[in-house]
Copies of this chain bind each other. A is one copy, B any other.
């Protein structure tokens, strides 16, 4: 994977050592203004001019750092949103319930939920952006889910035949389907019920 897929942010001119250095405070001000605006109006209605105004910064100053609005948004999300923690509660089932509940919370009660639809559209039109988002946000988060399932297999709680991808997708997919397509609210208790059903074929007999 080429580095450009991971580093949408523009580097300094020819060499970043010579000339006047960029003001790091501006970076933070821009990213914070981006997140704030995102959570208020959603991706589509975020304009670079408004981000600049709120950050107390000029528009060219933003374009010096990020070549596109979409890449600014991705970096803002990466730096401002903490990945789910990898709680090890003792059983894979409980870990997955916790992860599912956390994801529901993120999708329904944080800016991400409002940002995602617009971002999905941009991703489809911009492979570089898509790679950034997937590598920096999606994959790191799914890693926790895989780890929980792996621990369950190792401890004997789950069968060694457990289809990790199936379990993961069956739990996560419906949440995105609901957010992006149907608009239906997530049923209360979805996490516990879903985990029980998805793991049912893989639960080993209690020893």
Residues of chain A touching chain B, judged by Cβ–Cβ distance below 8 Å, are 42-45, 114, 117-118, 120-121, 123-125, 130, 134, 138, 163, 165-166, 169-170, 172-178, 180-183, 187, 193-194, 197-198, 200-201
Contact = CB atoms under 8 A, between A and B. Distances in A.
The 10 closest A-B pairs by CB, nearest first: A173-B173, A173-B174, A117-B124, A169-B174, A121-B121, A173-B177, A200-B201, A170-B170, A118-B121, A117-B121
Contacts of A45: 125
Contact of A120 (B117, B173, B194): B117
24 contacts: A43-B121, A44-B124, A44-B125, A114-B124, A117-B120, A117-B121, A117-B123, A117-B125, A118-B121, A120-B181, A121-B121, A123-B183, A130-B183, A163-B197, A166-B193, A166-B194, A170-B174, A170-B194, A170-B198, A173-B177, A174-B174, A176-B180, A197-B201, A200-B201
Contact of A163 (B169, B173, B193): B193
Copies of the chain in the assembly: 2
Contacts of A125: 42, 44-45, 117-118
Contacts of A130: 183
Contacts of A187: 165
Contacts of A163: 193, 197
B138 A182 contact: yes
Contacts of A193: 163, 166
A183 B117 CA distance: 15
B134 A44 contact: no
B200 A138 contact: no
A156 B71 CA distance: 53
Contacts of A182: 134, 138
Given A118-B124, A138-B181, A172-B173, 5 more contacts: A117-B125, A166-B194, A173-B175, A173-B176, A176-B181
